[in-house]
Structure 1
Amino acid sequence: MDAIQTMEELQTSVNDHEAYLLLIKTENCSVCEAVEEQINQGVLDEAELPIGKVRLKDIPEVSGEFLVFTSPTLILFLEGKEQWRGSRFVSYDEIIRIMKLWRS
Structure 2
Amino acid sequence: MIKLNELTAMQMVEEFLENHEMSFLYVSTPECSTCHAILPKLRELLDDYPLIHLGHIDITKVEEVAEKFLILTAPIMLLIIDQKEYLREDRFVRFNILEEKLGKIYEMYIQ
Q: TM-score scaled to structure 2, two decimals? A: 0.86
| Map of 2:13 onto structure 1 | 10
- What is the match of residue 47 of structure 1? 49
Contact 1:76 1:84 in 2 (8 A): yes
Q: What's the counterpart of residue 38 of structure 1?
A: 41
Q: Is the 8 A contact 1:46 1:96 kept in 2?
A: no
Matched positions, count = 103
* Identity score, percent: 25
Q: What CA RMSD, in Å, does the superposition of the two structures yield over aligned residues? A: 1.2
Give the secondary structure class of the aligned counterpart of 1:43: helix
- Partner Cα distance (1:26, 1:95) in 2: 24
Q: Note if contact 1:73-1:86 (Cα within 8 Å) is conserved in structure 2.
A: yes
What's the offset of the Cα at 1:80? 1.2
Which letter maps to 1:77? I
Indicate the SS of the match to 2:71. coil
Cα distance, 1:92 vs structure 2:
3.0
1:22-33 aligned within 5 A = 22-33=25-36
> Secondary structure of the equivalent of 2:27?
strand
The alpha carbon displacement at 1:61 in A equals 1.0
| Contact 1:21 1:52 (8 Å CA) reproduced | yes
Q: Which residue of 1 aligns with 2:108?
A: 101
1:67-86 aligned within 5 A: 67-86=70-89
Question: What is the alpha-carbon distance in structure 1 between the residues aligned to residue 32 and residue 79 of structure 2?
Answer: 21
Q: What amino acid is the match of 2:101? A: E
Letter in 1 for 2:103: I
